[in-house]
Amino acid sequence: MIDAAGTPQTIRLSDYRPPAWRVPQVALDFNLGAESTRVTARLTVERNGKRSEPLVLDGQGLTLVSVKRDGVALDVQPVGETLTIDIPGDSAVIETVVDIAPATNTRLMGLYASGGMLCTQCEAEGFRRITFFPDRPDVLSVYDVKLTADAALYPVLLANGNEVATGQLPDGRHWAQWHDPWPKPSYLFAAVAGNLSPLRDTFVTASGRTVDLAIWVAADDVPRCAHAMAALKTSMRWDEVNYGREYDLDRFNIVAVGDFNFGAMENKGLNIFNSRYILADADTATDADFDAIAAVVAHEYFHNWTGNRITCRDWFQLSLKEGLTVFRDQQFSADQGSAAVRRIDDVRMLRAGQFPEDAGPMAHPIRPDSYIEISNFYTATIYNKGAEVIRMMATLLGPDGFRAGTDLYFDRHDGQAVTTEDFVRSMEDASGVDLAQFRNWYAQAGTPHLDARITHDAAARTAQLHLSQTLAPTPGQPVKPVMQLPLRVALFGGTTGKRLGDERLVSLTEASATIDFDNIDEPPVASLNRGFSAPIIVQSDRSRADLAFLSAHDDDPFARYEALQQLGQATLLDSGDDSDLVAAIGATLNSGLDAAFIAEAVLLPSEAMAGDAMAVVDVDGLHTRREAVRRRIGSDLNAQWWAVYHANNANRYELTPEAKGRRRLRNVALGYLMANDDAEAVATAFKQFETADNMTDRMAALNVLSHSNAPERDAALAAFHARYADNALVLDKWFSVQAMSTRADTPAAVAALMTHPDFSYTNPNRLRALVGAYAANQVRFNAADGSGYRLVADAVLAVDALNPQAAARLVSPLGRWKRFDAARAALMRAELERIVATEGLSKDVFEIASKSLV
């Protein structure tokens, strides 16, 4: 909302009221064209109870042609972004006719053109850019949709639900009628028209129904959809087995789109995907790409129940569907390969994206209290921290209790728009577990800190684990309640290396507590927050020797990984001796553990991660220190790295978990071998680049060369561009690898790439690949002269006029100015002030930039 003075207004959870009018039936008729599309909407509306307000419909960027009430034309016009219609009775049929222009819709919200097709994106508030409607998630409607278009330009016409009729018209146009029997909110509406080809398959549900599956792409891309189709079928079966959820339509369609603000969208029966999460083969996609495709396909499919059949009452409840569904896709991914490595990946993503958010000016609970622009709250907090909150709940309830809770939730709320409180109450009612204190996780921002100290009484054969928790103030929440922390802990004998008794699940509900252990006959070393059972920061009295010990003996994979990471972090923050870290990494290489796990464990923490542990980020000193430690690890363990590199050289490409783990470890070894930029390593990296039979190895070689000053670097970059110049997704990698280079000339290189013919401000993938990646390059984005800040701020302002959502996502790195030295902070703040002072700024960018200045 924007007031009469043009100032964006705050929307508050406390102001929620149920809709004054229900819309049980919606009939949409599209006469499609890229330059102009006419949309006729017939809404069957019913007064909600005794509410007396008129019908208020939302609309943005619409040219109103006509309005009728029960067939009678009305002389009404929109005021601002709403159309108000008086209805004397308790029900009516409202018909509106509007014109829209998809070809000029650079916001990529509503109906827009992309690569010769027309497609939609309606979450969160894009439907109002298609037609006038009460565009809120608690208005659930059954949709009938007719699409009419030029048959030559748009031979395929798709919408939600099941296709019920088609026909040809004498003027070369054709039409298709779609019906979705399941009531849904407007944000789940979808339609696509284009010259597309399908990869088809079928799935037989647990009850014996056959579902027709299709992934729609350009004809040349059909062979690259096989992995996504396999992931879809696997996820459909997985949801039946693990949650008892069966698919409920006759068809399931996916469309891949090149221009898309998000990763994918779960529209009922017609998922629309960013093409990067559908298209893959060995030559163009890395192992990480294949894994991401499987995870995102599963995520969007799982939304059919956690998001579609049961949706959100209002947008403050966004984590109800997103946190729960991320947790479900994490479970799914853990079942497809190494559960330990998947958990490491999930936590790394949380720490990189969400922990800084919790510590910054945009900190918010997973159920926010207010917002200016809801698109700004599709955040790591809502998604990733939201998933951790669900995981903690599952831990406290146990597998049987959690499954009983989700079963009750589905049974109780199917077909409803509900709240996070409804979900928590289902968990309580099914399990009998009191979650009153646990609810603080929904209402409080910030990352709890846990202090852990252990004492040992050798004579009494006992040990005590002393725990205390704190939660720092966040914007708007100066005083915090005590959180409930589910902590998995265990003790290991410092002499024998054996676990002393069973793992314990401790539910910490007080500010401090002491946990007693009996029969402890040797000095204990504590394994804390095993499996990352709570999304917290742990500080303990464990020494470097304790961490090295745990990296060798802990039987919880995450805790073992974490011990080595903490030892690495301590090394980066301390200029002292790093021989114990080198020895621990060497021991891990020889441990015989899973290759994928070893590859993750032996990596040093990133500069960003280490910087988060500093009171003021020492940009240059931290980079210098980390590079020195990397060089020592590379040189001291040189023979081991070469052995690992050669031992994991596969004869042929396979996409099994084992093969992916070997590739990952081999490429980590190559990175350490390149740390000293010696001639043999450079030659090996360039040979791997030239001879690789898969993108994982080719990209890994290009990545390590990108940091080098060797001439092979430029040769590899030129060869990569020449080979993939016509593949937009792969070319994104070419831009990104240069933006992430730690070379001193990276700021100038990125500035030059901004003018490259292949760069585009209007494609979100390309924008993220270059500007987004550069903003994540801690040492070069934070150049002392402020050039990185100016470049990103310039990009924000250039993109804001085209696509405010995409622009807003570039602002956050500037919002961390308080974490840096005074000179850099002043330069960052100046760019934020320049952004906020810009006339005509979108509310998307205004909200983040203005809050970042506080």
Which residues are marked as active site? 300
Peptide bond into 124 cis (omega under 30): yes
Q: Are 626 and 607 in contact (CB under 8 A)?
A: yes
Rounded Cα–Cα distance for residues 822 and 418 (Å): 46
Residue type, 170: P
The two tokens of residue 413 are: 């709320």
What is the residue whose two structure tokens read 């819309």? 23
Rounded Cα–Cα distance for residues 685 and 667 (Å): 9
Q: Are 747 and 784 in contact (CB under 8 A)?
A: no
The two tokens of residue 53 are: 């307000």
Question: Distances from the Cα of 105 to the Cαs of 102, 178, 219, 263, 841, in angstroms?
Answer: 5, 25, 25, 19, 18
What is the residue whose two structure tokens read 């000193």? 621
Rounded Cα–Cα distance for residues 649 and 665 (Å): 10
Question: Distances from the Cα of 54 to the Cαs of 325, 399, 594, 730, in angstroms?
Answer: 36, 48, 64, 52
Q: How many helices (H) and strands (E) does the chain have?
A: 29, 30
Q: Which residues neighbour 336 within 8 Å (Cβ) at sequence distance 6 or greater?
A: 234, 294, 657
Considering only CA atoms, which of 717, 605, 602, 716 is closest in space to residue 666?
Answer: 602
Rounded Cα–Cα distance for residues 150 and 169 (Å): 9
Question: Distances from the Cα of 783 to the Cαs of 107, 616, 619, 737, in angstroms?
Answer: 31, 16, 9, 18
Angle between helices 657-673 and 695-706 (to 10 degrees): 20
Q: Are 307 and 266 in contact (CB under 8 A)?
A: yes
Helix/strand/coil (H/E/C) assignment for every residue in 681-709: HHHHHHHHHHHCCCHHHHHHHHHHHHCCC
Give 378-383's long-range contacts (Cβ < 8 A, gap of 24+).
378/124, 378/262, 378/318, 378/322, 379/354, 380/349, 380/350, 380/353, 380/354, 381/354, 381/357, 381/445, 382/318, 382/319, 382/322, 382/323, 383/319, 383/322, 383/323, 383/326
Q: Are 208 and 184 in contact (CB under 8 A)?
A: no
CB atoms within 10 A of CB 447: 20
Q: Which residues neighbour 723 within 8 Å (Cβ) at sequence distance 6 or greater?
A: none
CA dihedral 292, 296, 298, 301 (to 10 degrees): -160
What is the residue whose two structure tokens read 């990646």? 773
CA 675, 347, 747, 852 torsion: positive or negative? negative
Cα angle 498, 503, 507 (rounded to 5 degrees) comes to: 150
Q: What is the DSSP letter of 477?
A: B
Rounded Cα–Cα distance for residues 684 and 178 (Å): 56
What is the residue whose two structure tokens read 């960018």? 845
Helix/strand/coil (H/E/C) assignment for every residue in 728-781: HHHHHHHHHHHHCCCCCCHHHHHHHHCCCCCCCCCCHHHHHHHHHHHHCCHHHH
Q: Which residues neighbour 541 within 8 Å (Cβ) at sequence distance 6 or greater?
A: 452, 453, 454
Rounded Cα–Cα distance for residues 360 and 852 (Å): 8
Q: Are 186 and 133 in contact (CB under 8 A)?
A: yes
Rounded Cα–Cα distance for residues 797 and 806 (Å): 11
